[in-house]
Structure 1
Amino acid sequence: MTETLSEQLESYRAGWRARVPTDRQAVMDGHVAHLAASGIAKTAKQVGDRAPAIQLRDQHDAEFDVASLLTKGAVVVTFYRGGWCPFCNMELKAYQAVLPRLAAAGASLVAISPEKPDDVADTATKNELSFPVLSDIGHTVAKAFGVHYAFTAEVRTVYDGFKLDIPGKNGAPDDWSLPLSATYVIGRDGTILFADTRTDYRERTDPEEVLRLLEHRAAAE
């Protein structure tokens, strides 16, 4: 039986705990706690809010307007940190696997990252993604949704230790910031139907949860 995304992430987290030095783990755990205490999960866009416009360049370096998808049905929007993040890659692959079921429920899917278009294209190719993957340089959309956050100096040091050049990946000098790994479902009228704004990047919305919502709505229509 195929593992769910939640099961895959649980297994990966156990391995992460086993191999990442405890001092770095402590900093990342503290950062997650800091984000939780900041209240960002509650101040971000929530169910019932109107979703901001999403007009960004996709993995083909073409301008993409999510409004074009909303004319056909609901749209699932998932924010991911970057193709360098293993948790993100697992999530993207999991959504690719359920894409036919999303389409059967009348929905579309887009993923959004702050990475440069070339890196977004690499992520789409590496994970064999057939849905739009959008580049949000400068976090314009992430900020509009309220899911953007800045690194603390301590967290920057950890990422330096991982040899991850976040500003270079984001295509913006000194941009030590990322979006929450948030997932939304936007209805045809632009209203947010589902919002998961958890602050721990090591956890993700399971696509099965999103599918239950969409399939239930499709059956009721």
Structure 2
Amino acid sequence: MPETTTTIDDQVATFNEGFTAQIGPDLSAVFAAEQAALTESGLPADAVAAGDTLPAAALLDSAGSSVSLGDALGDGRTVLVFYRGSWCPYCNLTLKHYQEALLPELTQRGVKLVAISPQTPEASDLAVSNGGLEFTVLTDPGNALVRQLGILTEPSADARKAHAALGFDVADSNADQTGDIPYPTVLVVEADGRVVFADVHVDYTTRTEVPALLAAVDA
């Protein structure tokens, strides 16, 4: 695997130190309470799991053109990354890390990497350009696929207010102008849509690390 200075967890810890100092204790407490509530609620009972088969889904590429989920999958295995949007610093950090540490390994194995969010194609294009991403980034309009996979959530009301205090709103980025978002999720999928690995994170500050992903791909 290419040399990387840190894991995603290490980078998140470093980011959180600066972010907490920047936004102050009150807003930090709001986000901490949201994360605690998500963790306490646990994984949805109907969340996608290994052994499931993905449903058909109509997606959009970053240019706004229609792409079926079936066409987005590779001839072999595909790694699907569901992320909240380019407004989410944890998502941006993760996608950039996957670009640097995961994509080269998958390319050697002939495995595709595809990222999916509910944000507009324009916002997806921004994620691609800002992160220097060289893998496919798609939009799931209205979270139609995410709903079928049982990984739909939304920021708490207090978190939405905190977002507003920081100058943004999730709905402004989403294709359907709602605050609905997916739990950060990584799937390893066969060409026929069968899921062989699923890792759903209810705490959006945690993500699937590259070694675990590669182990699932190689299994």
| Counterpart in the other structure of 2:108 | 104
Number of aligned residue pairs: 215
Distance 1:6 1:54, change over 3 A: farther
The answer to whether structure 1 residue 94 and structure 2 residue 102 are counterparts is no
Distance 1:199 1:113, change over 3 A: same
Unaligned runs of 5+ in 1: none
Measure, in 2, the Cα distance between the counterparts of 1:129 and 1:151. Answer: 26
The answer to whether structure 1 residue 185 and structure 2 residue 193 are counterparts is no
Unaligned runs of 5+ in 2: none
Runs of 4 or more above 4 Å deviation: none
TM-score by length of 1: 0.88
TM-score by length of 2: 0.88
**8 Å contact from structure 2 (residues 185, 200) kept in 1:** yes
1:1-221 superposed matches below 5 A: 2-3=4-5, 4-70=7-73, 72-97=75-100, 98-173=102-177, 175-214=178-217, 216-217=218-219
User: Residue type matched to 2:4 in 1?
Assistant: T
Distance 1:64 1:87, change over 3 A: same
Measure, in 1, the Cα distance between the counterparts of 2:210 and 2:69. Answer: 20
Measure, in 2, the Cα distance between the counterparts of 1:160 and 1:55. Answer: 31
Taking only the aligned residue pairs, the percentage that are identical comes to 32
Query: What is the CA deviation profile of residues 83-112 of structure 1, one whole-angstrom value per residue up to 9, with x for unaligned ones?
Result: 122211111111212312102223111111
**8 Å contact from structure 1 (residues 137, 171) kept in 2:** yes
Shift in Å, 1:206: 1.3
Moved more, 68-77 or 176-185: 68-77
Other structure's SS at 2:122 match? helix
User: Residue type matched to 2:117 in 1?
Assistant: S
Other structure's SS at 2:99 match? helix
**8 Å contact from structure 2 (residues 72, 114) kept in 1:** no
Measure, in 1, the Cα distance between the counterparts of 2:137 and 2:24. Answer: 33
Query: What is the CA deviation profile of residues 39-76 of structure 1, one whole-angstrom value per residue up to 9, with x for unaligned ones?
Result: 34443111122223343011132222232354511111
Measure, in 1, the Cα distance between the counterparts of 2:132 and 2:191. Answer: 27
Tell me the C-alpha RMSD between the 2 structures: 1.9
Other structure's SS at 1:21 match? helix
Shift in Å, 1:116: 0.8
